[in-house]
Chain A
Amino acid sequence: DIQMTQSPSSLSASVGDRVTITCRASQSISGYLNWYHQKPGKAPKVLIYAASSLQSGVPSRFSGSGSGTDFTLTISSLQPEDFGTYYCQQSYSTPMYTFGQGTKLEIK
């Protein structure tokens, strides 16, 4: 099975900061990497699919990059509503689309 490892596990940042979260796959997954955002008590929402494609309706401050085993989610200017937990997910190993363990983002 493909394992997904995110770092950091948690972080605290201020409004306006540039935030970067990384995700590493245990083997190459090409560009089959997705990012989700989940707020407490709510279902996850997809932000980025296929490593760098922005889901419709998602603010342009979110961007994704990477291929192979190393991927990055960047928030260019952190907003108060961006708190919550971010998950990466590989969709290479059909259909066992494993998730990373999550990165909890707190606003200072």
Chain B
Amino acid sequence: EVQLLESGGGLVQPGGSLRLSCAASGFTFGSYAMSWVRQAAGKGLEWVSGISGSGGSTYYADSVKGRFSISRDNSKNTVYLQMNSLRAEDTAEYYCAKVGSGGWNDYWGQGTLVTVSS
């Protein structure tokens, strides 16, 4: 059974940093790309960042480019999202998701809430 478990969310002041983790199980982790998708309260889904199976390629939405960094440790079956220079508009539920062979997100975690506020 595929499971994705996010952690690391919380309350942080504007300008602060936070690192999210997503522990995966139930599939050959290093064979699949992973994504982070966020959702502000009452709003739609926003793709944030993606990383290839090897970790050699990383991608970011314009809204987070230069502030967020995605990485993965295939020995620990974990993907990370380092978030720096956080802004109020980064407040959202953050989901990690496995990327299927055709680009769709076939499995999602339960989400972790990030709140940026003073």
Contact = CB atoms under 8 A, between A and B. Distances in A.
A97 B44 CA distance: 14
Given A43-B111, A49-B100, A99 B106 contact: no
A102 B100 contact: no
A34 B45 contact: no
Instruction: Output the residue of A34, A38, A97 with the most chain B CB within 10 A.
Output: A97
A92 B102 CA distance: 9
Given A43-B111, A96-B61, A91 B102 contact: yes
B45 A87 contact: yes
Interface residues of A, number: 26
Interface residues of B, number: 23
A99 B100 contact: no
Interface in B58-104: 59, 61-62, 95, 99-100, 102-104
Contact of B45 (A94, A96, A102): A102
A95 B35 contact: yes
A45 B45 contact: no
Interface of B: 33, 35, 37, 44-47, 50, 59, 61-62, 95, 99-100, 102-106, 108-111
12 contacts: A32-B102, A32-B103, A34-B104, A34-B105, A38-B45, A44-B95, A49-B102, A49-B104, A55-B106, A91-B102, A91-B103, A95-B103
